[in-house]
Amino acid sequence: MHRRTAATSLGNRHLLDFMSQAKGNNHKKAGQRHTRPLDSAQSIVQNPYEPSKGLISTMSSRPTTVTLKQVAAAAGVSVSVASRVLNGHAKAYRISDQTEQQVRGIASELDFRPSQIARSLRLQKSKMIGVVIPDLSNPFFAAISREIALAVEAEGFSVLVADSRETTSIEQELTGELQSRQVEGLVVCPVGVDGSHLLTVHQSGLPIVLVDRGFPDFPMMQVTSDHRRGSEQAAELLLAQGHRTIGILQGLPGTLPNEERLGGLRETLQRHDLKWDADLVDGDNFTEQSGYESTHRLLSKRPDITALFALSTPNAMGALRATQEQGIQVPDELSIVSFDDSPYSDLMAVPLATVCQDVPRIGKQAAALIIQSIQAKSPPKFEIHQVTTKIVKRSSIAKASPR
């Protein structure tokens, strides 16, 4: 109570002092600055206060943990009563109103927070779910993590995130780590080439859902875009504009999204009685670098190419950069379509036509599945959820014309 008040008033003071404080700091630093080169990656450290005065003195050096036992003692009741009250079982146990108030009062006065660790151990449920992502800084995966975090928080779960750095062996370690932390469920965006460890997890009975890069023959829950249909949409668009020779900038071969996108394209071409030419496929990753290199290779190898289909946004960005270098006009000399949207695709040098994935929906779906699977005590289902994509036409596509 007392502490709370102090904190608040300081919070206010902060706003009042904001500008002047900041200016003060700046003056002190002014001298130093000019001694460093402008773009050196250094950071300035300030230690404005001596350790011995003001606020700091009220601070304990170790986190102070108030236990239920202490609350009970302070309230003059047994731990069981305290526990029951604080878990809302007061009336179920006919605890007197007076006792209840007493306990509640003391608890909030002491700022009691039940140890979730102890709780987890006792209840045999951690209320945590694990999320394993190949690259948290990739906006696609970040958005998915976010949806999952928001959705499961609403159900009282916390999320442990782990970044596998696009590496299967790390993914394997991390899932193990999360299991030993007793997560109640696992959402993983697999790196996508070998998933045997995921199968092991699944067989152990831990609820698991795979997102984006899945394994169609693994009998577990999976959610991805309908890559195949998305590719179809892109292909139809290109074909309608008269394109017959389409270069493909692929991502990581062997992964489900890559193969499905390729498959959708191939089928569509065949349906239009065009032969499938493996020579037109190039690339080895979902990265900008890969897109850049394959564009250069494809364009020099095959001058008859009139359009490029990039299997990811970074692949498309690489293509943009490569065409810029070669002085090729998009879309006049070459059309480009991309899979995957980025927020500013429409503000690019040439606004990029794109097969958009419904990222929020993918995330929400994954969250819903894992929660449901945790709460239902039934054995995990095998369900593959394919989320519909949407094609957005932008000016990077035009009628086919020879380069």
Partner DNA sequence: ATGAAAGCGCTAACAT
Partner DNA sequence: ATGTTAGCGCTTTCAT
Half-sphere exposure of 168 (CA within 13 A, CB side): 9
Q: Write out the binding residues for a copy of itself, residues 42-61 only, by CB under 8 A.
A: 42-49, 51, 54-56, 58-61
Q: Tell me whether residue 306 or residue 357 sits nearer to a copy of itself (CB atom).
A: 357
Handedness of CA 242, 247, 250, 255 (dihedral sign): positive
172 lies in the site for a copy of itself, by CB under 8 A: no
Cβ 115 to DNA, closest distance in Å? 4
**Burial class, 396, CB count within 10 angstroms (exposed 0-12 / middle 13-18 / buried 19+):** buried
Exposed e or buried b for every residue in 56-86, given b needs 16+ CB within 10 A? eeeeeeeeeebbbebbbebbebeeebbbbbb
Out of 25, 26, 78, 203, name the contact with DNA by CB under 7 A.
78
Cβ 94 to a copy of itself, closest distance in Å? 28
Q: Tell me whether residue 77 or residue 305 sits nearer to DNA (CB atom).
A: 77
Which of DNA, a copy of itself, none does residue 84 bind (CB under 5 to 8 Å by kind)?
DNA
Q: Write out the binding residues for DNA, residues 97-156 only, by CB under 7 A.
A: 98-99, 114-115, 118-119, 121-124
C-alpha distances in angstroms, 67 versus 57, 72, 94, 116, 366?
24, 9, 24, 11, 36
Choose the stretch contacting DNA; rule: CB under 7 A; options: 56-64, 87-95, 349-357, 375-383.
87-95
Which of a copy of itself, DNA, none does residue 69 bind (CB under 5 to 8 Å by kind)?
DNA
Strand partners, 255: none
Strand residues in 156-245 grouped as ranges (E): 158-163, 185-188, 208-211, 221-225
Out of 6, 14, 55, 93, name the contact with DNA by CB under 7 A.
93
Q: Tell me whether residue 395 or residue 401 sits nearer to a copy of itself (CB atom).
A: 395
Backbone φ/ψ region at 273: left (φ over 0), alpha (ψ -120 to 50), beta: left
Which H/E stretch holds residue 72? helix 68-75
83 lies in the site for a copy of itself, by CB under 8 A: no
Q: Write out the binding residues for a copy of itself, residues 346-375 only, by CB under 8 A.
A: 347-349, 351, 358, 361, 365
Which of a copy of itself, DNA, none does residue 123 bind (CB under 5 to 8 Å by kind)?
DNA
- In 3D, which of 401, 374, 377, 334 has the Cα closest to residue 151? 374
Which of a copy of itself, DNA, none does residue 95 bind (CB under 5 to 8 Å by kind)?
DNA
Q: Tell me whether residue 255 or residue 400 sits nearer to a copy of itself (CB atom).
A: 255
Strand partners, 261: none
266 lies in the site for DNA, by CB under 7 A: no
120 lies in the site for a copy of itself, by CB under 8 A: yes
Q: Tell me whether residue 106 or residue 132 sits nearer to a copy of itself (CB atom).
A: 132
**Burial class, 401, CB count within 10 angstroms (exposed 0-12 / middle 13-18 / buried 19+):** middle
Out of 1, 94, 377, 402, name the contact with a copy of itself by CB under 8 A.
377
CA distance 198 to 207: 11
Cβ 267 to a copy of itself, closest distance in Å? 8
Which of DNA, a copy of itself, none does residue 48 bind (CB under 5 to 8 Å by kind)?
a copy of itself
Q: Write out the binding residues for a copy of itself, residues 133-152 only, by CB under 8 A.
A: 135-139, 142-143, 145-146, 149-150
H-type helices in 76-181, by residue range? Answer: 79-86, 97-109, 116-123, 139-153, 168-180
The DSSP code for 379 is P
**Burial class, 286, CB count within 10 angstroms (exposed 0-12 / middle 13-18 / buried 19+):** buried
154 lies in the site for a copy of itself, by CB under 8 A: no
Cβ(391)–Cβ(237) below 8 Å: yes
Chain mean position to CA 222: 16
Interface contacts to DNA, rule CB under 7 A: 65, 67-69, 76-81, 83-84, 86-87, 89, 93-96, 98-99, 114-115, 118-119, 121-124
